[in-house]
Structure 1
Amino acid sequence: MSAILAIDLGGTNLRAAIARPGRAAPLEPVGRWAAPACLEDFVALIGTLVQQHHAARVGLAVPGLVTGTRCAWIPNLPWLEGADLATLVPDTPVAVGNDAHMTLLGEASAGAARGMADAILLAIGTGIGSAVLAGGRILRGAHGGATSFGWACADPDDPGDDRAGWLERQAAGRALDGIARDNDMADGGTLIARARAGDAAANALLDRPAAALGVTLAGAVALTDPQIVIVAGGVAAGFDVIERRVAVAMRRQLPPHLRGIEIRPGLLGDTAALAGAAAAAAGSTLWETTA
């Protein structure tokens, strides 16, 4: 198969790589840029990269809701909302997906979930993204928004929020930053570092976010019965500090036959979404091609 251009578009950066199916090194990084400021700049960059690398297909991971190849809701890149990315490059097939979905596709193709048919991925960064592999397919749902785990809630009295889900407000990077600042620390990274070093007060501050992750994760595990839970994203680097507490809270809410579920970090790091975008463009059977 000819070269595939894989793009991982975030709220602040865009990264690109070339995949050449059948070769030992599946991804060749080609560059990193600031996220484009408008759709015209984005289209121009994609077109240039396609021409430079003679790409026959394009795979795109984007930070929001995708229906088919149309971007329905991209809160950090509003200029992308409503754009049908299949029209970006004439005569070049395009596969588009939510970045968490693409990350799990990458891990299922060549990472921590390779060879598995059922898995959950939590991408814990500034917010919380998620994806589910069920029966050998990445679930996308009727409108592309399946498995929006950051919106899971374990507090029936919570009033809700239009911009962030309950779990994001409890345990995502923004939440950890807020906890840290309320306790005279610079940010969530400092909080994690102090907890790892054995600071009892810092560890106590992480009990609630860990419990929130664990009890909500129990619902997802009970619903889907995965073989593995994979943790990715920026907070994954500090997940070792709260992993045991998350697992204890999760298993407490699970039936005995599901308590053996393992939580592991992803193997592909920040290349997972690129690997997933390439796999989707290559026609992976794990990728649901219609939404």
Structure 2
Amino acid sequence: MSNDAGIAVLEVGGSHVTAAVVVPGGWTVESVRRTPLDSKTSADRIVAQLGQAAAQLPLANGLALALPGPFDYATGVAWYRGVEKFDSLYGHDLGKSLRELLDLDRVVFVNDAEAFAVGEWTAGTLQGLSRCAGVTIGTGIGTAFLADGRVVRTGDSVPPGGELYRTTFRGKPLEDWISARAILAAYGSAPGVKEIADAARAGEARALEVLVDAFTCLAEALTPWLDRFEVTRVVLGGSISGAFDLVRDVFDFDVTVTEDTEHAAIIGTAAVGYGA
């Protein structure tokens, strides 16, 4: 790997793509450019948007992308269906398309929740911990369980695939209890979770109750897996982690909140993608 060029990273969400360069060693993040992304358009157009973002970066070391699932990260094939974003990519070999478009030999894909956790272990709140976990809370729940910085997806000590969202809680999928959709449904009417959190901080009891209930479900669903995996600390990220100051008392284990989910995910994508 050419250290001079750094590691080119795209952090991809449903409405944005962030292009950045990560310099290994000090793990500094440079040349950050965040642009809108239309995830509901055609496959060709999505590929073009990603290509335009990547073309701004030095690509001597290839390209690493953090993406939400469902996605086959090893083969680069997307399997989005019914998730209201990237549906046109279902069955599409995104790795092949980007390699051809950008004339690259190396394009690496990383699960966005795993990228976040590894970034926190590499240069954030999980540094030095042998058994830890990262949880992202937004449109859904993302999780990653780390043993000495390596993601563990198999075995009895982690949920299926290492993904807590695939479990049920009180007879329903976990995301029916804790997700943007679940919180908005429980509250009744609000433009977003941020507004509910603002109302709670302003003293509205109903808003606080809804948030405490949702995070209590997360804490109870997570605890058995933390015990099995012998986790010593959890870091929360994602848009809804901004409500942590209101709900910290529901957690009876060591939990912290990230300073910047996107920044951590960018570092983690570079670390995972290039085995650094």
- Alignment match, 2:195: 190
Runs of 4 or more consecutive aligned structure 1 residues displaced over 6 Å after TM superposition: none
User: Are 2:177 and 1:170 equivalent residues in the alignment?
Assistant: yes
Alpha-carbon offset, residue 12 of structure 1? 1.7
Whole-Å Cα distance in 1 between the matches of residues 27 and 268 of structure 2?
Answer: 16
- Alignment match, 1:266: 258
Q: What TM-score do you get using the length of structure 1 for normalisation? A: 0.79
- Alignment match, 1:82: 91
- Alignment match, 1:71: 77
Root mean square deviation of aligned Cα: 2.5
Q: How many residues align?
A: 259
Whole-Å Cα distance in 2 between the matches of residues 179 and 199 of structure 1?
Answer: 15
In structure 1, which of residues 220, 243, 255 is the aligned counterpart of residue 248 of structure 2?
243
- Asked if the contact 1:129/1:150 (under 8 Å) is kept, the reply is yes
Alpha-carbon offset, residue 69 of structure 1? 3.2
Structure 1, 131-140 or 105-114: larger mean CA deviation: 131-140
Whole-Å Cα distance in 2 between the matches of residues 215 and 274 of structure 1?
Answer: 29
Alpha-carbon offset, residue 98 of structure 1? 1.5
- Alignment match, 1:200: 205
- Asked if the contact 1:11/1:35 (under 8 Å) is kept, the reply is yes
In structure 2, which of residues 113, 122, 137 is the aligned counterpart of residue 109 of structure 1?
122
User: Are 2:118 and 1:126 equivalent residues in the alignment?
Assistant: no
Structure 1, 77-86 or 231-240: larger mean CA deviation: 77-86
Q: What TM-score do you get using the length of structure 2 for normalisation? A: 0.82
Q: 3-state SS of the aligned residue for 1:218? A: helix
Cα 1:82–1:140 shift into 2, 3 Å: farther
1:170-216 per-position Cα deviation (integer Å, ceiling 9, x unaligned): 121111111222xx555433332222233333333334323211210
Structure 1, 275-284 or 20-29: larger mean CA deviation: 20-29
Cα 1:25–1:98 shift into 2, 3 Å: closer
1:75-111 per-position Cα deviation (integer Å, ceiling 9, x unaligned): 3212233233432224431220211111112111111
Cα 1:170–1:93 shift into 2, 3 Å: same
- Alignment match, 1:149: 164
- Alignment match, 1:43: 47
Whole-Å Cα distance in 2 between the matches of residues 188 and 26 of structure 1?
Answer: 29
Amino acid at match of 2:45: D
1:45-75 per-position Cα deviation (integer Å, ceiling 9, x unaligned): 4444555433122111111133313234333
1:119-145 per-position Cα deviation (integer Å, ceiling 9, x unaligned): 111111121111111243112459xx7
Structure 1, 18-27 or 113-122: larger mean CA deviation: 18-27
1:209-238 per-position Cα deviation (integer Å, ceiling 9, x unaligned): 232112101122112111211110111111
Cα 1:3–1:176 shift into 2, 3 Å: same
Structure 2 gap ranges (5+): none
